[in-house]
Amino acid sequence: MKDAALPVTLIVVGLGWLAWHYGWLPDRNWVVAVGLMIAGAAVLAFDGLTKSSVVAGPLLIGTGAAWAVHAEYRVGWTVLIACLLILLGVLMLAARHPRFPDRRTGGPT
């Protein structure tokens, strides 16, 4: 699988949207927050640790956490976006480490 970030995110958002539309989930803020966190974990699970997944997965998890903090504690988005930018910068620096491959390496054939 080349880069699962976008397909996984689309699937999770679509499933969450349908569940909210049909009334299976009462509070959409928590659905969005948990959906983003699950999408981030799925990116890490499907892609493994690559330069792109090391940034995309934790950033989705952090965005979900920021959404939940905003919904529960009414922390302003200016503070949360600043924290997410710091997280993005740290993750981008971490992805530069030679330990992380550019792409997922295939297993034994």
What tokens appear for 12 in the block? 């999770």
- Least confident range of 3-12, 23-32, 48-57, 68-77: 23-32
Residue 26: per-residue pLDDT: 63
Which of 10, 104, 1 lies closest to 51 in space, CA to CA? 104
Query: Tell me: the pLDDT tens digits for 50-108?
Result: 999 999 999 999 999 999 999 999 999 999 999 999 999 999 999 999 999 988 776 54
Amino acid at 25: L
Residue that is written with structure tokens 């997922």 in the block: 104
Query: Tell me: the pLDDT tens digits for 33-50?
Result: 988 999 999 999 988 999
Which of 45, 64, 46, 56 lies closest to 94 in space, CA to CA? 56
What tokens appear for 2 in the block? 């080349």
Residue 18: per-residue pLDDT: 87
